[in-house]
Structure 1
């Protein structure tokens, strides 16, 4: 036998491996598109991947229809172990994502509205690759609906703490801290591996006052154990009095809910120079530029809040002989702009790198599309409210100057058509209106070669997606579709999760 024949005969195909080994390899494929690409290579690979892996990466469930899902996952540890992300929503505002092909083990007669405590604990316990967990149950007690309104928050959090893999945690519910007594025993306070943390909802001051030493120090000690934390959103009042005790060495994103303690916030910000993204709607007592140190938030790239505070951040004031450096903002979402000349000052602002800005959203209805294109030519996402005067042809001549524009939000394109917002229909019923919409989409797509999404004319959360042929021409097969963006709660680059 020749050497070539020897090598050929010893070559082992991936599918020659024992199925146990293959099933250890496939879960390591993280991205859905990679799973699909692998599934498309052969019929055998398709049988291995679909639906055992393609439908068992992300679960997006409504609380009123999830009981049979938990029953199914509690019975199938081989499938539950592939789950990476769980998103439980009270109102299921976004499209659900749940397995549809392999729930035959839960007969229709078995299905019930009530989630069993042992099943949810067992199912979560199998999810040893779970990274992200979000639970939105605002305005109701944190329970899964059922005849007995069982209180499952302790079970859920204790199980998540035991599996020890969750890095991104989002809880949005009222009275979320009243889970266990004594408070130290709740699994939440023992989860020290978190990279992202958002706790939203109301709480009773008499139950959890910041001046209550025992509860406050439990919170402070737990937060300080999160040394890998990069993203933080907390009710500020819960740790305001103890914020000087807190330090997060890797903090990149901070969302500060309303507070009157501007000085306290500034002190916290100054001690976290790693911050890149800040959401803070400061009150009227914002500081003068001279009150900030020259190296205040040197890494800040994204800001959402009052225009007044943006002016402070973008000031070129000289402090102790040092000129505040130019800020390279990539995203600005500015609100409460009461000055008539704010737009002119923004466009001419000397304290920011105009070439760096990629995302811009303004709340004031005074703007000029042509001036904006000259001031910020690299913008990729643009949201402007309807202006006092709107002419589509003039707008089109201005918008085409944004050579890198990818997303154009709803209010800009349809502002003169008086289209009522609301539910999203399958199509626009009025043929004349539909014709206008089509013409505008075509015109925008031709003038803006990078444009991929336009805000839907009838709903703020939906977009029209533009398809182009490989030649760059707009597809005649399917010019646009109506769809809601299927973004993840934990896409950390976009921070979709942290929008108010």
Structure 2
């Protein structure tokens, strides 16, 4: 029987079982009948990003069938995002709630959350954050946290740490610290350990209730002091950031709790840190490690790579590397053909890029800082580097597909010259498909690819035809952003 001959409610249930947005879109494109069901009632409700002050909540309270279809919910307080990010077209946009108290709005949000029986991911990022609510309010303890805790389908949770100076938010009986069965947890604005109510016991309680956690991200306002020593046998990814205040000196010593945490979680495949960094680890630590992103100026990456495993590590990606003789010695502990993705923050000379290519010929993704290397005051290199020096270095990366950081192209009006430059890059890196645009401040990058059909803006070359395509990027920060290995 054709699906279109089924009753509408059966069609609706079948569509509900399709989880991935791209599969939903493919289904919607088959015919207008399915499009009229899939797009407004399913695609629009799987992934929602809404401001806190919105009539979305009343809409969902009255349409619990649509609330049931929400899988991912992002709550924010940025009015500039309203209308630019996913939001159901069936909901009228108005500003009737601008003058309403945050407590009353939160009560409606709780009512709507309680109807989302299939909610998998909840990201809660508000400005001002929840910690700036009236200290006497009971909305968080009596409504918000219990509602989130009661969601049996929730697996990913992203929250700001609530009011560290208020005792009732920090007692272990608070429903927030009893949320269970998560596979991904992100906590922002974690207070220092010397507050009247230190965060460590509360975070430890959260971790104990989610023993099958796979991803943990902790963003602290200063040195966290200690990581909860909780066994998480399924943990694959750790992100540990400490945002040092301007008046606080940067620590030049490694973080013992981070080192201990890494040594006691052999299942980790990806490790990222900011400011804090691990010490030299025990032998045979992190046998499953594949991705390292160490944003510090010390030797945290070297400390991990120099751990003895009696064999080279199969590392696939490295982020924010500061190339140096000490680092190259540590990089020799990586399998030459395993490394595919490298993000460099500092390199003394272009010869260091060449040496990297010779050590790891299978690199497909490379980023260097997007600056003018002819400027002798640049802190990224120890000497000026001309644009003409890059092609010889890039020609060593025969598997390179993506290269960010050096502007090879002119303004779009000079299309013919750009095509010749693309043709040349393709000749030295035959797999290259994405490079920087002509301007470091542009919100676009350039894709280059050979085409088999005539037409369009292209030039002839022996054996292939080259074309250029400009791709816009909404967020300039995403242009050079590290692409997370598991996302």
Aligning the two structures, in what range does the TM-score lie when normalised by the shorter sequence?
0.7 to 0.9
After superposition, the Cα gap between the structure-2 partners of 1:457 and 1:231, relative to the gap in structure 1 and judged at 3 Å, is: farther
Match for residue 194 of structure 1 among 182, 187, 192: 182
Match for residue 73 of structure 1 among 60, 63, 76: 60
1:86-138 CA-to-partner distances (Å, cap 9, x unmatched) read 2234447878423352124x7x5856464623421222222212111112236
1:470-496 CA-to-partner distances (Å, cap 9, x unmatched) read 639996397212123799xxx996356
> Which residue does the alignment assign to 1:466?
447
Match for residue 256 of structure 2 among 252, 257, 263: 263
After superposition, the Cα gap between the structure-2 partners of 1:284 and 1:82, relative to the gap in structure 1 and judged at 3 Å, is: closer
> Which residue does the alignment assign to 1:230?
214
Q: Is the 8 A contact 1:316 1:325 kept in 2?
A: no
Separation in 1, partners of 2:77, 2:7: 42
Q: Is the 8 A contact 1:84 1:132 kept in 2?
A: yes
> Which residue does the alignment assign to 1:329?
315
1:326-384 CA-to-partner distances (Å, cap 9, x unmatched) read 111111113566x5x357546xx421112111111121142434333222222222111
Residue 378 (str. 1) matches residue 372 (str. 2) = no
Alignment root-mean-square deviation, CA: 4.1
Q: How many residues get paired?
A: 444
Residue 351 (str. 1) matches residue 333 (str. 2) = yes
After superposition, the Cα gap between the structure-2 partners of 1:90 and 1:181, relative to the gap in structure 1 and judged at 3 Å, is: closer
Separation in 1, partners of 2:453, 2:255: 51
Q: Is the 8 A contact 2:273 2:293 kept in 1?
A: yes
> Which residue does the alignment assign to 2:469?
479
Shift, 1:391, TM fit: 3.5
Shift, 1:48, TM fit: 1.3
> Which residue does the alignment assign to 2:304?
313
Q: Is the 8 A contact 2:437 2:446 kept in 1?
A: no
Instruction: Give 3-state SS (helix, strand or coil) of 1:56's partner.
Output: helix
> Which residue does the alignment assign to 1:413?
407
> Which residue does the alignment assign to 1:251?
235
In terms of mean alpha carbon deviation, does 25-34 or 14-23 score higher?
14-23
Shift, 1:253, TM fit: 1.1
> Which residue does the alignment assign to 1:362?
344
Instruction: Give 3-state SS (helix, strand or coil) of 1:60's partner.
Output: strand
Q: Is the 8 A contact 1:467 1:475 kept in 2?
A: no
After superposition, the Cα gap between the structure-2 partners of 1:359 and 1:375, relative to the gap in structure 1 and judged at 3 Å, is: same
Shift, 1:282, TM fit: 6.7
Match for residue 395 of structure 1 among 383, 390, 396: 390
Instruction: Give 3-state SS (helix, strand or coil) of 1:55's partner.
Output: helix
Instruction: Give 3-state SS (helix, strand or coil) of 2:228's partner.
Output: helix
After superposition, the Cα gap between the structure-2 partners of 1:240 and 1:250, relative to the gap in structure 1 and judged at 3 Å, is: farther
1:45-93 CA-to-partner distances (Å, cap 9, x unmatched) read 1111122112111122345xx5123333333222222111122344478
> Which residue does the alignment assign to 1:424?
none
After superposition, the Cα gap between the structure-2 partners of 1:481 and 1:229, relative to the gap in structure 1 and judged at 3 Å, is: same
1:4-59 CA-to-partner distances (Å, cap 9, x unmatched) read xxxxxxxx222232322222221221112111111121221111112211211112
1:360-414 CA-to-partner distances (Å, cap 9, x unmatched) read 11211424343332222222221112544444344234324434333322x3226
Q: Which runs of 5+ in 1 are unaligned?
A: 1-11, 318-322, 418-427
Q: Is the 8 A contact 1:468 1:475 kept in 2?
A: no
> Which residue does the alignment assign to 2:108?
119
